[in-house]
Structure 1
């Protein structure tokens, strides 16, 4: 049986490699860039007016001139105009090209304009070049604006648009199927018999995957080896990742490990020294093109294993940097005696003095998924020591 650290190492060693695709840039939000975006011109591409006001030649100001006839108006988007008289000025708008011959911009707040004459109230700190965003001061032509591996947020998409690139090469998202097993489960629209329950784990996993912009299909198979074998064989042919829930423990109807082995999926680990979620199973195909996570069927175990192991693995596969855990101080003591890593649901709370507190939530075990509605993280407590007093700094893995 592996430790949590051993499981992390195996998952890192057996990553999934995804190919690339080209998509319209407007549809690339949240995707990972698979190419380098270069500047197609200087940023800004001209000497840019940074404040509404007047453009002057600074020598006139240095000579003590305080009134300037307004010779013209330079608006954003208009071709450059010359400052034909060094003793005059041109009204300029933010974003406009700086008129040729001008080398300073004075804000409207520092002047008044009456009958075509601008009169200054001159602060002592006015300097040549003020309120001008010089050409190329941000980036030069052919500078790297976005390296490959960048996650495309709205601000990065604005950069892509600014260089006139209408499509981008990005890493593909994995094709994922969510699979539940078990005769005890019926679908949400069905009325369960007294010995049955409605399935919920599969829809939890589907929603959690959607948070990664992965649209996963949902499937369910009864506890029958032939049916599970046929179903998984078909799904492995059309998906990169299977995320399963149920059928991986030691019960007489837990057929999933046997079926996966028969389908050529190599087991890389089965069972981790932790509670909950001990029976977690992970494997991949011989060609390393398919991976399978088989999660324990108890809802709390399913939730923990997804956010602690599956989500970071998929983020890495998609070229993202997985979010590390937060670190919080226990608001109340926790005692756990077995020699296992212990995960417990918690509610995180930021205090006015900047501390992050973790409030452990007592529940009724790994089947009590309603307890998770009050939680926003799982706390990870190491196997030793057994006593964790209030104030202990612990890792917290956010959920949802």
Structure 2
């Protein structure tokens, strides 16, 4: 693991490369099916049965012999063809037919029910009128102008899935549909890369609970709820460590607790102020620093290291300013979390681009991540850089759905130029 960024500022690309080198996907585990939502599949899955298991109706209707509609049809004055068939039984969901369909009779059935022996078509219920007859227990089905061909409204056995067929491959992210498919092919548990755990520790004597009215010199703790929310949006196991005070012993206890997670985020305490104690406490706890300071705006004081513990906890020290913390989470922490979760496609995918709506002057010697909003327009996507009043301006950030990315040392961007962006979760 390269330690090339301590003591000097590195580029965004170097920081991301160092993170990728230090982070590896978690070991796979077998989880109960409901707990696997959002996880990455670690094994191929094949079906243990045909789907459907038998020829079945795809509508509520009447199972018939298609030949009856050419043999038994009676032409009406209107020119339509009418057929009358005796109803043998009604088969509802969860039941199976007990009668064989022969010429002159029919079986009423629900969607998904097996086709009874002898039947080769199903007529939708809306096209049938029924009437009672004294000598027929179920009555008579009257079909008017029904054009019936063999096979209509029938899904054949194994049409969707054949027994032994590969249905999901390793590397698939499990969503709601995949949970349903896994259940359909008999998986009550599945081997997946589990979701990473995340611990969040905002620090600083100036921080107060959001319920409190801050006196001069104090501010409400916004970074904690924000970063916890970012983790929950990714479906992570999230732990709130409370507020870390500017006291070495207190910080040590809180950080030690956080090192039991896969990733620990500490906001504040990583700059160059007198009470920025975090890097020293991390060193005492045997967390190896990988880099400290990145050429990014906002977020320059970003710190990253790896604990020498069983989990090899990845530790990110984020600047205390809220927008800086958010940008660093999206640009650096999120890729690490995705890599831990086995979602390499998310990490390796090239950044999308959009056309800049208005001229942008805010470039400089560091890579800029600017709050922006995407707009769908005829022919593509435009990106609008939002008005922003510095790294404490969360209100402007709340209107953004992307971060526009401007490389370092670029001249101002003219309207109409292509700009890379990162979507905000």
Under TM normalisation by the shorter chain, which class is it? 0.7 to 0.9
* Residues 1:219 and 2:242 are matched in the alignment: yes
Q: Which is worse superposed, 356-365 or 111-120?
A: 111-120
Task: Give the conservation status (yes or no) of the 8 Å contact 1:266–1:284.
Answer: yes
- Counterpart CA distance in 1 for 2:323 and 2:54 is 58
The equivalent position to 2:83 in structure 1, one of 64, 67, 72, is 67
Matches within 5 A, 1:162-173: 162-173=184-195
The equivalent position to 1:86 in structure 2, one of 98, 103, 120, is 103
1:357 corresponds to: 382
1:198 corresponds to: 220
- Counterpart CA distance in 2 for 1:158 and 1:221 is 43
Task: Give the conservation status (yes or no) of the 8 Å contact 2:49–2:164.
Answer: yes
Superposed CA deviations along residues 319-352 of structure 1, whole A, max 9, x for unmatched, are 335386553322211023423211111223334x
The equivalent position to 1:348 in structure 2, one of 348, 354, 374, is 374
Q: Which runs of 5+ in 1 are unaligned?
A: none
2:143 corresponds to: 119
* Residues 1:54 and 2:62 are matched in the alignment: yes
1:313 corresponds to: 336
Matches within 5 A, 1:362-373: 362-373=387-398
2:51 corresponds to: 43
Task: Give the conservation status (yes or no) of the 8 Å contact 2:43–2:170.
Answer: yes
RMSD: 2.8
The equivalent position to 2:278 in structure 1, one of 234, 243, 256, is 256
* Residues 1:335 and 2:357 are matched in the alignment: no
Task: Give the conservation status (yes or no) of the 8 Å contact 1:244–1:295.
Answer: yes
* Residues 1:179 and 2:179 are matched in the alignment: no
Task: Give the conservation status (yes or no) of the 8 Å contact 1:111–1:121.
Answer: no
CA spacing shift, 1:82–1:301, aligned 2, 3 Å = same
CA spacing shift, 1:276–1:101, aligned 2, 3 Å = same
2:78 corresponds to: none
- Counterpart CA distance in 2 for 1:218 and 1:234 is 8
Task: Give the conservation status (yes or no) of the 8 Å contact 1:175–1:240.
Answer: yes
Q: How much has 1:113 moved relative to structure 2?
A: 4.6
Instruction: Calculate the TM-score normalised by the size of structure 2.
Output: 0.83
- Counterpart CA distance in 2 for 1:364 and 1:15 is 34
- Secondary structure at the aligned position of 2:256 is classed as helix
Task: Give the conservation status (yes or no) of the 8 Å contact 2:101–2:107.
Answer: no
- Secondary structure at the aligned position of 2:180 is classed as helix
- Counterpart CA distance in 1 for 2:60 and 2:199 is 56
- Secondary structure at the aligned position of 2:271 is classed as coil
Task: Give the conservation status (yes or no) of the 8 Å contact 2:36–2:194.
Answer: no
1:13 corresponds to: 21
1:158 corresponds to: 180
Q: Which is worse superposed, 35-44 or 65-74?
A: 65-74
- Secondary structure at the aligned position of 1:335 is classed as coil
Q: How much has 1:38 moved relative to structure 2?
A: 3.4
2:410 corresponds to: 385
Q: How much has 1:138 moved relative to structure 2?
A: 0.9
CA spacing shift, 1:51–1:235, aligned 2, 3 Å = closer
* Residues 1:142 and 2:164 are matched in the alignment: yes
CA spacing shift, 1:63–1:271, aligned 2, 3 Å = farther
Q: Which runs of 5+ in 2 are unaligned?
A: 1-8, 74-81, 133-139
Q: Which is worse superposed, 175-184 or 189-198?
A: 189-198
* Residues 1:395 and 2:401 are matched in the alignment: no
